[in-house]
Chain A
Amino acid sequence: MAEAGTVDTHDAPAHDAEHGHHEQSFLSKYIFSTDHKIIAMQYMFTGIVMALIGGYMSYAFRMQLAFPGESVPGYGVVSQGEYNSLVTNHGTIMIFWVAMPMLIAAFGNYLIPLMIGADDMVFPRINRLSYQIFLISAIILIVSFFVPGGGFGGAWTSYPPLSANAEYNLTPYGATFWLVAVALEFVAFLLGGINFITTLMNSRAPGMRMHDIPMVLWMIIIASILFMASVGPLIAGAVMLFMDQVVGTGFFDPDRGGDPVLWQHLFWFFGHPEVYVVLLPAMGIVAEIICTFARKKLFNYKLILYTAFATGIISFFVWAHHQFVAGIDPRMANVFTITTLIISIPIAEMLFLYIATLYGGSIRLTTPMLWALSFIAEFLIGGITGIFLGASGSDIYFHDTYFVLAHFHYTFFPIAIIGFFAGITYWFPKMFGRMMNDSLGKIHFWGTIIAFNFIFIPLFILGAAGQHRRIYNFQNFPDLAGMQDLRVIATSALLVMLVFQAIFLFNFVYSLFKGKPAGKNPWKANTLEWTADSPPPHGNWPELPNCYRGPYEYSVPGREDDYWPQDVPPDTAPAE
């Protein structure tokens, strides 16, 4: 390697005492580890477990909607209160305990040090603390289903006065547990975010400049910045709501001079940036995958990067579109309509740039690539339906109908589920050293994607017909009772989709032990993580790599290989 003038990075890469070399016990290796890879796994497996719980909940309440009043196999009869609690916790879990930990925490922790050529995060112990708080928050949430009164049922947005007053929500403990769990989860991600941003800024491999950083890392970092900048007001709101619930203040109680809309104000200030917090990492994962499997350079790296930044900034100007019918100033509604329509432009632009990346590439339809392509297709539907909702005039009709619900499932499902599957099928060889089975992967892919569309397209139709969200039994509404067939289709498709997840779990466990050994770089990709062993050892590399070029030098003319890893020194001797 070109060594002249470089700092000697060979001496054991900053292994301090806590990183000890000797044999570690199981506990200190897997439970109390400060290694970023282990923490990423912890986040990932917790996320998978939570996703299974959230999926089970959706099974229970969808069955109730399709076959009202009948006993649900594996659950029993769903009562009204339970129905509310299931819906609420399903939403909460999927957003805060699935999308966030899997996309940001798991992939962020795993990829940031590996992709920038560092041996670990800059604050390893804060990182560990972050996961521990996260785990506690997950446990508190699960416990909240079993306290007297049952789990909270006031929707994942938790609007007061319903959420503030136990007389209304009938879950004196559930509501508070829910709130505490969510608040702790924010603290966990706050600590994680500090780590991510600092690590990316300060620990890059020698030679890695701003524009050599893989796109997925930029996306995770922008997401972290958005999260850090938007979560404060929500924590403020959560403290106030907690005091309303527990101490008996009346911040949100209109009877006592409080203002319930204030909560919405604070919640959505965070809530809308939050959707980009989860969107951007998924976009980043997709960018990595399409470049690798189209064997092409990312089309206009800088434009994508600046677009992502612009999206982040605009996302602070749109949040009141969730309050069009909440009693906000109509002039403000107009302004927010305009900004909301504006924000769909950068998103569309990014998708176009991705499609341009595919154009003329030699595309290999591996499982991760299928997931990445389906992300683009499905997310497009989610984004387009958002435009109808962003226009405040039409939103007065659509608000809180199944149309909104289908809209955000067409955004969140691609993000949280497709994005996760894309990422895990792509990085599985690196994480566990073995390949996943491609045929099983494709069966799982088609079963999931087709079923997904059969769940939510009927819901668009129902929403457009005026079916409202969060209603226990539509048979009580004469205008809606007739559309039961659509509900049955949606629920049946959900069952199909859930069954297909068994294939994924099987494939995962099977490949963990029996998969084909992967080697260092099975996809012939460029980014630095593929230069480490699979799975990477503690400390990642025996000697930390240098970086010589951007991450997407595929099919460079004049080179024998169609890829050019970032750590390979240039063919010509360096100047000097």
Chain B
Amino acid sequence: MPDDALGRPYGVPVRREPVVPNGVLGMLIFVATEVMFFSGLISAFVIGKSNAIGGWPPPGQPRLPVEETALNTAALLASGVALYFANRAFRKDSPSVKPLLGLAIALGGFFVLFQGAEWVALIGEGLTLTSGQLGGFFYLLVGTHALHVVAGFIILLYTYQRLSHHDLDRFTFWPAQIFWYFVVGVWPILYWQVYL
């Protein structure tokens, strides 16, 4: 049997299923960009901290609510876990998808609201964007993350709505999960860097 120039036998070409579905691949690439975006923010923060004369956090600034946010962190992580189990249920076509997905969404919403309350308190104590490097970086990092949580929240709501209409497919659910896992996954890093 003759071979072609690359040394492989002539065969009949077959169109095959993509190794990674379009939506998943697209979302993975997008999330990779987001990871770099957050890496940039974190690097900026590390350098910003290093410039502080007199140590970090800068003296005379309001204290960040470390313990309360630990609770909030737990809520967000729990949301990620709930979503993971929702996916397992989805794959098995089990009816518990809906409550699990609902739980994930609710915990995400809780996270945003809790953080909003925290911000109101902090602004009351005088920590604003322009009050200094701490305020600037705090709202920059945490605020950017909050925007992502809101975006992820909306995406999950959308999947929930599709689920209610029995028309959620894995090509929509899977990318949505990837985004949410990303949002959940960067938060502990931010918490560690910004609060601790």
Please measure, in the bound complex, the distance between the C-alpha atom of A239 and the C-alpha atom of B2, giving whole angstroms. Answer: 59
Closest partner residue, chain B, to A126 (CB atom): B26
Q: How far, in Å, is A558 (CB) from chain B's closest CB?
A: 11
When distances are taken between beta carbons in the complex, the residues of chain B under 8 Å from A209 are 8
Please measure, in the bound complex, the distance between the C-alpha atom of A74 and the C-alpha atom of B10, giving whole angstroms. Answer: 63
Q: What 0/1 readout, one digit per residue, does chain A (244-278) give for beta carbons within 8 Å of chain B?
A: 00011111000011110010011001000000000
Q: How far, in Å, is B35 (CB) from chain A's closest CB?
A: 7
Report if B33 contacts A (CB, 8 A). yes
B13/A205 in contact, CB under 8 A? yes
Indicate which residue in A208, A556, A576 contacts B5 across the interface (CB closer than 8 Å). Answer: A556
B12/A574 in contact, CB under 8 A? yes
Q: How far, in Å, is A342 (CB) from chain B's closest CB?
A: 23
Please measure, in the bound complex, the distance between the C-alpha atom of A570 and the C-alpha atom of B13, giving whole angstroms. Answer: 12
B47/A572 in contact, CB under 8 A? no
B2/A240 in contact, CB under 8 A? no
A243/B136 in contact, CB under 8 A? yes
Interface centre among B11, B136, B144 (most CB of A within 10 A): B136
Interface centre among A123, A206, A249, A548 (most CB of B within 10 A): A249
A266/B133 in contact, CB under 8 A? no
B18/A202 in contact, CB under 8 A? yes
When distances are taken between beta carbons in the complex, the residues of chain A under 8 Å from B193 are none
Report if A201 contacts B (CB, 8 A). yes
A546/B13 in contact, CB under 8 A? yes
Please measure, in the bound complex, the distance between the C-alpha atom of A229 and the C-alpha atom of B29, giving whole angstroms. Answer: 9
A6/B35 in contact, CB under 8 A? no
Indicate which residue in B14, B34, B58, B132 contacts A7 across the interface (CB closer than 8 Å). Answer: B14
Report if A505 contacts B (CB, 8 A). no
B22/A122 in contact, CB under 8 A? yes
Interfacial residues of chain B within 17-63, with CB under 8 A of chain A in the complex: 18-22, 25-26, 29-30, 32-41, 43-44, 47-48, 51-53, 58
Q: How far, in Å, is B64 (CB) from chain A's closest CB?
A: 18
- With A239-B140, A240-B44, A243-B136 known to touch, is A572 a contact of B2 (CB < 8 Å)? yes
Query: Could you give 19 example pairs across A and B, Cβ below 8 Å?
Result: A190-B33, A197-B29, A202-B21, A212-B6, A229-B32, A230-B36, A232-B34, A232-B37, A236-B38, A247-B130, A249-B129, A250-B132, A257-B53, A257-B132, A257-B133, A258-B48, A262-B48, A265-B47, A575-B1
**A-to-B contact residues, CB < 8 Å:** 2, 4-7, 9, 122-123, 126, 190, 193-195, 197-198, 201-202, 205-209, 211-212, 228-237, 239-240, 243, 247-251, 256-259, 262, 265-266, 269, 297, 546-550, 553, 556, 570, 572, 574-576
